[in-house]
Amino acid sequence: MRKEPYLEQNVAIRMVDITKRFADVVANNKINLEIRFGEILALLGENGSGKTTLMNMLSGIYMQDSGAIYVKGERITIKDPHDAYSLHIGMIHQHFKLVEVLTAAENIILGLNETRLIDLKNVREQVKKICDRYGFVVDPDKKVYDMSVSEKQTLEIVKVLYRGADILILDEPTAVLTPQETDKLFVVMRNMKAEGKSIVIITHKLHEVMEISDRVAVLRKGEYIGDVLTSQTDPQKLTDMMVGRSVTLNIDRPEPVNPKESLVVKNLGVKDINGVKKLENVSFTAYTGEILGIAGISGCGQKELLEAIAGLHKLEPGSSIMFYPRGNKEEGEDLAGQSPIDIKHKGVHLAFVPEDRLGMGLVGNMNIPDNIMLKCYDQGKSPFTNKKKPRQQAIEIIHDLEIVTPGLRTPIRRLSGGNVQKILVGREISSDPYLLMTAYAVRGLDINTSYTIYRLLNEQKKKGTAVIYVGEDLDVLLELCDRILVLCSGRVSGIVDGRTAKKEEVGLLMTHFKEETA
Amino acid sequence: MMKQKHRKKEPLFRISKNGFVPLYKAWAIRIGALLLALVVCAFIIYSITKLNPLKVYGTMFQGAFGTNKRMWVTIRDTMMLLCIGLGLAPAFKMRFWNIGAEGQVLVGGIASAACMIYLRGKMSATAVLPIMFVCSMLAGAIWGFIPGYFKAKYGTNETLFTLMMNYIAIQLTSYFVALWENPYGSNTVGIINSRDKFGWFPPIFGQMYGLNVIIVLVLVVLIYVYLNYTKQGFEISVVGDSENTARYCGIDVKRVIIRTMIISGAICGIAGFLAVAGAGHTISVSTAGGRGFTTIIVAWMAKFNSFVMVLFSSLLVFLEKGAMEIASRYQLSDYVSNMIIGIILFFILGSEFFINFKVRLRQRFTKDKSQ
């Protein structure tokens, strides 16, 4: 145990030998971590390495099985989020914990157990004070359902600050933000640091780690690997620490070979159940042997676009989706108005990795072979399922993609997000598709798995598959894709060349229409 | 400082999720729970009635299996419960809350009774049984189809829908009871065809309820195979877990819902056939007797595994018969026997908690490292 007095003074939180198990899985194994005052600590690690679990023990969501937590030198037990608040620890979760129908101010005071009457005026004033101090913009009377993702996140941070937090934990805050919004967030974070607050940021994006953090702590498979000062490291070193071996950080981008029109979408329009336009007048062409990226702020119609092509949405009249398998003009099929069953029975080899893995792509309560079987269970005339082939395929996918699973019989909801995603991508690719659509294929995945996925996409590209890649990380989109289609509020605001486009240009298209396309 | 001290206290119990529990261990916990329940019951029996608990348990056993006739009644009732449970399993596996088994059994029973009354003298006693079988199955299927159709087409709430279908079935039964009243003024149908036993199950291997056992055990195997090894069974699992996934992989969700509810209702209809032709030989509003609800426990405790359902339905019927016996033998009120049933069920259901979760007592801090 280190006992340097000057260090102890500086330490806001010290976690000693923290162990947490979930059933048979050790999520955190004897982890020692310290968080200092006035620093931004980046917590880095692959999926399932236990970052969120560790932080959840500080915010009172979980309790450690063994080990001790010291806050400002005092040994404490954090039983629930209330304990965490009274210790001035606040966490902003990946999935926002806000009540949609309440206003910002109401959300802020929610759960504060005030015995007095609620004085909203006072709350507003205090919120304004916090905002002015750190440079937030929050309208206290705006309802949460009217807010953008970035506004919601700001509100979460203000909520935590209002409760007097001086140790803030942000779990992948930038995953849902545009580059511009991320910059704003970083400004605020620096302001908070200047005030002496401690900030822990969990992220997968190394360039952000390099940009914002003072110190980086790395976890790997539930073990604490070590910490380094950000000024003394670089992305490559961090990756090696995270993965445990050397990983190349370059994404391949082979030139498309003999591209032919594979998917020609014209005037595509989709409305949601409430009649709100989700997609309007979307036209584009995807070519064989090419990766077409789709960028946009979350909720701009990316999801609907892929789902519409897969036959999961009712299309507006006039929409046309012509599909030419392998670019063969003679075998063109109009997919518009076809259901997924029709598309399947037409023998159109269309593979789709949806955004919602367990809610749409896979069945959480089933094991890997059964999930593989989802796509092919109805082949053949026999009324019985044939489990042999999917089982064989499952073994191959597990081997090829290095999926970590206790066994073939484990329900996949017990596996980590990265492994679940590999099963989904593995299944879709193994069908030898002519068109492969992926929505946020690497969301929440660690570097190593992400690169595996990029490699798989490139393999498909080389085989002559038309690949559509909906992504949120602009750096990756610009490195991986041949062309990038930018969606803004359900309309195409531009299609740029992935090799020449600038990040700022794409970022701008995400929020504004170019004059000529508007 | 007070608050700080308070904070140092860890909670007394720590509950964490269990991982994979081997089958033998799970069953050991369940049997342990059963034994524990018996011990607790023993104390309660003794403290309330001053009777020897072992003797009371012996009486319970006698009530269920004491004589050959009792044993067969127990078996008959088990088969009935099991049959309804088998009907509910596909619906519940699809996460379709079919609490309308009561009504589906009743309409099946009405169909059987109608055959017995109207077809008498028009055909042979052996030929009428298959017809009754099919008719009650159809009646149950219709009763299952209606809520299934509305759920699939209009997204109605199936819980309320199936529940209300029960009341319609009860009223329908009342109507037919009035129509077929025998003797006049009794307000019951009486034993149908008691003289020539037309439409009654013939004894098999000398056992009056042999056919009940055969029909239900065949269904046990069929349902097990259907749910676990067929494409339709697979579709049910997918729809039950996530309708979006089902749509995504090209399953016609509406069709699966309607089809499964037809099957579910049909099997419950068969249970009505068993109740009328194979057991009561009459029809009344209490023909289903709340079994449509009791079996919900059976289906869920067995996690829709039809073989495990055999066990749980036997247990429930055994408890019911045993409790009735001790109530009458020792002139206790029904409540005492109901208490015993309650305690035993509580322990068995509670044991699932200990299978799924680990509970640890608070640990002392070994040593305070910061000091």
A81 touches chain B (CB under 8 A): no
Count of structural domains within chain B: 1
Pairwise CA distance, residues A219 & A223, whole Å? 6
Pairwise CA distance, residues A331 & A335, whole Å? 12
Instruction: Indicate whether B352 pLDDT > 90.
Output: no
**pLDDT band, very low/low/confident/very high, at B19 (cuts 50, 70, 90):** low
Inter-chain Cβ pairs, chain A and chain B, closer than 8 A:
111
Question: What is the chain B residue with the closest CA to A352?
Answer: B248
**pLDDT band, very low/low/confident/very high, at B367 (cuts 50, 70, 90):** very low
Q: What percent of chain B has pLDDT over 90?
A: 52
What residue ranges of chain A are covered by domains with CATH 3.40.50.300? Answer: 5-243, 250-349+434-448+466-518
pLDDT of residue B369: 41
Question: What is the chain A residue with the closest CA to B356?
Answer: A23
Using a 10 angstrom Cβ sphere, with 0-12 exposed, 13-18 middle and 19 or more buried, the burial of residue A453 is: buried
Q: B248, A384: Cβ pair inside 8 Å?
A: no
**pLDDT band, very low/low/confident/very high, at B128 (cuts 50, 70, 90):** very high
Taking CB atoms and an 8 Å cutoff, what residues of chain A touch B4? 74, 76
Complex ipTM = 0.80
CA atoms within 13 A on the CB side of A265: 24
Pairwise CA distance, residues A440 & A444, whole Å? 9
Q: Consecutive 10-residue runs of chain A (518 residues): their mean pLDDT?
A: 54 91 82 92 84 90 88 86 88 85 87 71 86 85 84 88 89 78 88 91 85 92 90 88 79 88 92 84 93 86 90 89 84 84 81 87 91 87 88 90 84 82 90 90 78 90 93 87 91 91 85 53
Q: Pick from B302, B298, B296: which is nearest to B26 by CA?
A: B302
Beta bridge partners, A290, equal: A466
Instruction: Indicate whether B371 pLDDT > 80.
Output: no
Taking CB atoms and an 8 Å cutoff, what residues of chain B touch A24? 19-20
Task: Read off the pLDDT of each residue in B57-72 and give the average, rounded to a whole number.
Answer: 89
Pairwise CA distance, residues B57 & B323, whole Å? 9
pLDDT of residue A404: 82
- Phi then psi for residue A67, to 5 deg, are 105, 170
More confident residue, A335 or B105: B105
Here the contacts of A113-119 (C-beta below 8 Å, separation 24 or greater) are A113/A82
Check: CB of residue A487 under 8 Å from CB of residue A304: no
Instruction: Give the right CATH number for A5-243 from 3.40.50.300, 1.10.645.10, 3.40.50.720, 3.50.50.60.
Output: 3.40.50.300
pLDDT of residue B91: 96
A101 touches chain B (CB under 8 A): no
pLDDT of residue B363: 58
pLDDT of residue A35: 92
A79 touches chain B (CB under 8 A): yes
pLDDT of residue A444: 67
pLDDT of residue B370: 40
**pLDDT band, very low/low/confident/very high, at B364 (cuts 50, 70, 90):** low
Q: Which helix (H) or strand (E) holds B34?
A: helix B23-49
Please, what CATH class does the domain formed by A250-349+434-448+466-518 belong to?
alpha beta
Check: CB of residue A62 under 8 Å from CB of residue A53: yes
B156 touches chain A (CB under 8 A): no
A4 touches chain B (CB under 8 A): no
Instruction: Indicate whether B97 pLDDT > 80.
Output: yes
Range of the domain at B106: 83-316
- Phi then psi for residue B202, to 5 deg, are -75, 150
A273 touches chain B (CB under 8 A): no
Taking CB atoms and an 8 Å cutoff, what residues of chain B touch A349? none
Position B102, amino acid: E
Per-residue exposure over A489-508, b if at least 16 CB sit within 10 Å of its own CB, e if not:
bbbbbbbbebeebeeebbbb
Q: A362, B17: Cβ pair inside 8 Å?
A: no
More confident residue, B235 or A113: B235
Beta bridge partners, A293, equal: A469, A484
Does residue B171 sit within a domain?
yes
A516 touches chain B (CB under 8 A): no
Q: Per residue in B151-201, pLDDT tens?
A: 999 999 999 999 999 999 999 999 999 999 888 888 888 899 888 888 899
pLDDT of residue B110: 96
Does residue B260 sit within a domain?
yes
Nearest to B244 among A21, A359, A366 (CB): A359
B368 touches chain A (CB under 8 A): yes
Q: CA dist B217 to A406, B140, B198, B295, Å?
A: 36, 19, 24, 16
B363 touches chain A (CB under 8 A): yes
Instruction: Indicate whether B137 pLDDT > 60.
Output: yes
Check: CB of residue A475 under 8 Å from CB of residue A459: no
Does residue B13 sit within a domain?
no
Beta bridge partners, A171, equal: A202
Task: Quickly count: other Cβ atoms within 10 Å of residue B317's Cβ.
Answer: 24
Cα-trace Rg, chain A? 24
Per-residue exposure over A40-78, b if at least 16 CB sit within 10 Å of its own CB, e if not:
bbbbbbbbbbbbbbbbbbbbbbbbbbebbbbbbeebbbb
Question: What is the chain B residue with the closest CA to A25?
Answer: B19
Instruction: Indicate whether B1 pLDDT > 70.
Output: no
Check: CB of residue A290 under 8 Å from CB of residue A273: no
Position A207, amino acid: H
Look-up of token digits 């030989």: B281
Q: Pick from A401, A340, A406, A394: which is nearest to A368 by CA?
A: A394
Task: Quickly count: other Cβ atoms within 10 Å of residue A288's Cβ.
Answer: 25
